[in-house]
Amino acid sequence: MKLHEYQSKTIFSKYGIPIPKGRVAATAQEARQIAEELGGRVVIKSQVLVGGRGKAGGVKLAKDSAEAEQLATQILGMEIKGLPVRKVLVDEASAIDKEIYFAITDDRAAKKPVMIASAAGGVDIEEVAATTPEKIIKIHIDPLLGLREYQARDVAVAMDLPREYWKDFVKIAMGLWEVYRNTDATLAEINPLVITKDKKMIALDGKMMIDDNALFRQPSLNEMRDTDEDAPSEIEARKYGLSFIKLDGNIGCMVNGAGLAMTSMDVIKLFGGEPANFLDVGGGAGSEKVAAAMRIILSDPNVKAVLFNIFGGITRCDEVARGILVAMDEVKPKVPMVVRLVGTNAEEGRKLLENANMITAETLADAAKKAVAAAKEGK
Amino acid sequence: MSILVDKNTRLIVQGVTGNEGLFHTTQMVAYGTNVVGGVTPGKGGEWVLDGKLPVFDSVKMAKAATDANATVIFVPARFAPDAMFEAADAGIPLVICITEGVPVQDMMRVRNYLDQKKIRLIGPNCPGLLTPGEAKVGIIPGDIAISGNVGVVSRSGTLTYEVLYAMKNLGMGASTCVGIGGDPINGTNFLDVLEMFEHDPKTEKVIMIGEIGGSEEEKAAQYIAEKMTKPVAAFIAGQTAPAGKRMGHAGAIIEGGAGTAADKIKALEAAGVKVAKHPEEIPTLF
C-alpha cells in the first residue's frame, strides 16, 4: 500500500524528522487559507500516488496566498498519469542549498533492510542511479540488531556531508529507521532531504510503501488507504481477501494459487484468448469466498466466458463447487462456464456440479481451449 | 535416495489442532509420512487422529519426547514468525512453513536468525515437500505424483501440482518435489535446491518452475550453465502479467522492467534449459 506525501511526512514528523510547515487542502479556498496562515512563499504540491509529479506540472511555487489559490485551482483540475488530483499539500517554501537522497527499503536478495543515500538527490535520482551508480551509497542493516548510529555516520561520511551536519543526519536516519521498523514499511524515502540556506536539514518530500501483509497490526495506516487508483472491483475483492486484478480481455478467470492463476492467463493467451482478470481465490478458500469471487468476475460486462481452474491442495474442490452453486443461484450467469477440478476432493466437487450445466475439462490446455472457443461463440 | 525428506524423517506439526493443520496432518499420515507428534500451545497432553498422535505445548517438549528432526508449520500468519523462531530454538534442523501472508520484515528477522543457527527453512507461503512413496510434508496432494528420477523445484503451489500431474499422466515420476514458496524473502531458493539435486544420485533430470519478479531464476540459470551436469527443463509463469501489479504472490511483480518472464526465459535458454510454453508441455521436453 502506498502512502501520500502528506501522510508520509506526518509520520516522519512524529519520529522527530523535521518537515516543512504546511497542511493538505481539498479545495483552492482551503489552499489560500493555509497559505495566508503560513505567510510568504508557499509550494502547492499535488497529492497523487505516482512519481514524476513535478515534471508533470503538479508542483508549483506561489509568491502569495492569491497565487496559491490560483495555482491550487489549476492543479486540483489536473490528471497526472491518469489519476485525478483530489488534494494538494500547501507547504512553506524553503531556500535550498543542497539536495540529498535518503531511503530505507528491503533488499530482497540480501534478505536485509538497506539504507540508500546519495549527495546527488532530487528529481533526477533515477538518472543518477543509472549513469553514475558510484554516487549511490548502500549500507545494509542487520534486521535483528536494527540500525546503529555508527552506520548512519558512515553514510554521512560516504556522502562527504560536512561534519556540522552529522548530528542532524544521524538523528534523521535513526528516525527514519524507526518509521520503517514500526510501520512495517517496505520503503521509507526522503527525496529530497534538503540543507537550507540557513543550514537546517528538512525532509522536503516523503514517500512510503507499507507491506500489505502487515496491515493487520497497523490499523491506523490501513485507514489511510487511498483507493482512488483502484478499480471498484479490486476494492470489493480486497474485502473478501481475494487477490484480483482487472484486465482488458473477455475470459473471466477463477483460479486457486497465484502461480497457477498467472499460468492460466498465459495459457488462455497462448490459445488465442484474452484474460479479463487475474484472480487468486487463495489457499483453503471456502464457498463464501468463491461466491464473492464469482460475483466480481461476472460484474464485468466484457466477460463472455468464465474459466474455473481449481487444483485442490489446501483448497478443497467440493468447497469450491458449493461456492460456485451458491453464486450461480444468486447471479444467474448467462455466459458459458468451463470448469476444471483436480486434486483434493475433486470427485465430490465434480459430483456437486454434475447438473449445473457447465463445460468440463480434464487438462489446463483443454480448459483454456474450451474457454477461448466459448468466448468467441458468445460474442 | 531423495533430498530433504524421506521415510526416516520424524515430523512434527505446529498448529496441529487447527482446521488446516488437522486436515493436512490426516492426509500426511494417510500417505505414510512418519508424523511423530503435534504442537499447539495450551493443548499439550491431548491426542488427535483418534488418539494416535500426541499433542505438546511447545516444540521443545515435542522434540524431547519424539526426537523429531523436521517440523511443518500450519499456524496463521501473525503467529508464524514465532513458530519458526521456536522451532529454531528447539534445534529442529528442517523447518517447513506453509503459512502465507507473513510480513516481510518478520521474514527478514526469521531468515537471518535461522541462518545463524544453520537451520534449513523451506517457505513460507509454500506447498511443502513430497518424496513420492516415502514422505509428504505439507499440502501437495499425494496421489498426483509417482516415484521416479526427476527432481522438481517450484516457486508456486498449485502450478506445481499441475506439473506433477502432467508428469504422472506420462508415467514420469519425481525423486523429490520442493515447493520453495512465492514470497520475496524465503528460506531456500532455486540455487540451493538445484545444488541438492545435482548431488542426489536418484535425481537424473530436473524441472524448475519459476515466475515473474526477483532475480532468483537468473541466478539459477548461471548455476546451471556453470555447474550443473543434469538436464533441466523449465516453465516461467506470468508471461502475460502487466507491469507494476502484484500478482498475488508478494514476489510476483514486475518492477521497473526487471524480473519479466522474457528476461528469465532468455537467461534459462542461454544456459541450455528447455523452456515450455505451457506447464503440461514441460515433461515432454526431456
Does residue B88 lie within any of the structural domains?
A: yes
**3-state helix/strand/coil string of chain A:** CEECHHHHHHHHHHCCCCCCCEEEECCHHHHHHHHHHHCCCEEEEECCCCCCCCCCCCEEEECCHHHHHHHHHHHHCCEECCEECCCEEEEECCCEEEEEEEEEEEECCCCEEEEEEECCCCCCHHHHHHHCHHHCEEEECCCCCCCCHHHHHHHHHHCCCCHHHHHHHHHHHHHHHHHHHHCCEEEEEEEEEEEECCCCEEECCEEEEECHHHHHHCHHHHCCCCCCCCCHHHHHHHHCCCEEEECCCCEEEEECCHHHHHHHHHHHHHCCCCECEEEECCCCCCHHHHHHHHHHHHCCCCCCEEEEEEEECCCCHHHHHHHHHHHHHHHCCCCCEEEEEEECCHHHHHHHCCCCCCEECCCHHHHHHHHHHHHHHHC
**What pLDDT, on the 0 to 100 scale, is given for residue A135?**
85
**What pLDDT, on the 0 to 100 scale, is given for residue A278?**
94
**What pLDDT, on the 0 to 100 scale, is given for residue A284?**
67
Model confidence band, residue A5 (pLDDT cutoffs 50, 70, 90): very high
CB nearest A108 (choices: B127, B184, B235): B184
**What pLDDT, on the 0 to 100 scale, is given for residue B181?**
93
Instruction: Please list every residue in chain A whose beta carbon sits closer than 8 Å to the beta carbon of residue B250.
Output: 212-213
Average pLDDT, chain A: 92
Asked which of A71-75, B110-114, B250-254 is least confident by mean pLDDT, the reply is B250-254
Least Cα separation, residue A235 to chain B (angstroms): 14
CB nearest B239 (choices: A256, A266, A344): A266
Q: What are the pLDDT digits (tens) for B148-197?
A: 999 999 998 889 999 999 999 999 999 999 999 989 899 999 999 999 99
Are B156 and B280 in a shared domain?
A: yes
**What pLDDT, on the 0 to 100 scale, is given for residue B1?**
62
Residue A230 has pLDDT above 80, yes or no: no
For B263, the domain range is 140-285
Instruction: Please list every residue in chain B whose beta carbon sits closer than 8 Å to the beta carbon of residue A178.
Output: none
Are B29 and B116 in a shared domain?
A: yes
- ipTM for this model: 0.89
For A236, the domain range is 232-378
**What pLDDT, on the 0 to 100 scale, is given for residue A51?**
80
Model confidence band, residue A227 (pLDDT cutoffs 50, 70, 90): confident
pLDDT, average across residues A116-126: 84
pTM (2 d.p.): 0.90
Are B105 and B56 in a shared domain?
A: yes
Best to test chain A binding among B158, B170, B265 (most A CBs inside 10 Å): B158
Q: Is B56 on the interface with A (CB under 8 A)?
A: no
The CATH number that applies at residue B112 is 3.40.50.720
Residue A54 has pLDDT above 90, yes or no: no
Instruction: Please list every residue in chain B whose beta carbon sits closer than 8 Å to the beta carbon of residue A218.
Output: none
Does residue B3 lie within any of the structural domains?
A: no
Interface of B with A in 233-252 (CB under 8 A): 235, 237-242, 245-252
**What pLDDT, on the 0 to 100 scale, is given for residue B51?**
95
Residue A379 has pLDDT above 60, yes or no: no
Q: How many CB pairs under 8 A join A and B?
A: 173
Residue A333 has pLDDT above 90, yes or no: no
**What pLDDT, on the 0 to 100 scale, is given for residue B115?**
96
**What pLDDT, on the 0 to 100 scale, is given for residue A229?**
67
CB nearest A184 (choices: B105, B248, B277): B105
CB nearest B141 (choices: A259, A275, A344): A344
Are A254 and A368 in a shared domain?
A: yes
Interface of B with A in 169-228 (CB under 8 A): 182, 184-185, 209, 211-212, 214-215
Model confidence band, residue B70 (pLDDT cutoffs 50, 70, 90): very high
Are A15 and A140 in a shared domain?
A: yes
Q: What are the pLDDT digits (tens) for B217-276?
A: 999 999 999 999 999 999 999 998 887 777 767 667 766 667 899 999 999 999 999 999
Per the structure, the count of domains in chain B is 2
pLDDT, average across residues A254-269: 93
Instruction: Please list every residue in chain B whose beta carbon sits closer than 8 Å to the beta carbon of residue A344.
Output: 27, 141
Least Cα separation, residue A140 to chain B (angstroms): 12
Are B164 and B255 in a shared domain?
A: yes
Are A106 and A224 in a shared domain?
A: yes
Share of chain B above pLDDT 90, in %: 86
Asked which of A115-129, A358-372, B35-49, B112-126 is least confident by mean pLDDT, the reply is A115-129
Residue B249 among the catalytic residues: yes
Interface of A with B in 324-343 (CB under 8 A): 342-343
Asked whether the beta carbons of residue A258 and residue B182 sit closer than 8 angstroms, the reply is yes
**What pLDDT, on the 0 to 100 scale, is given for residue B281?**
93
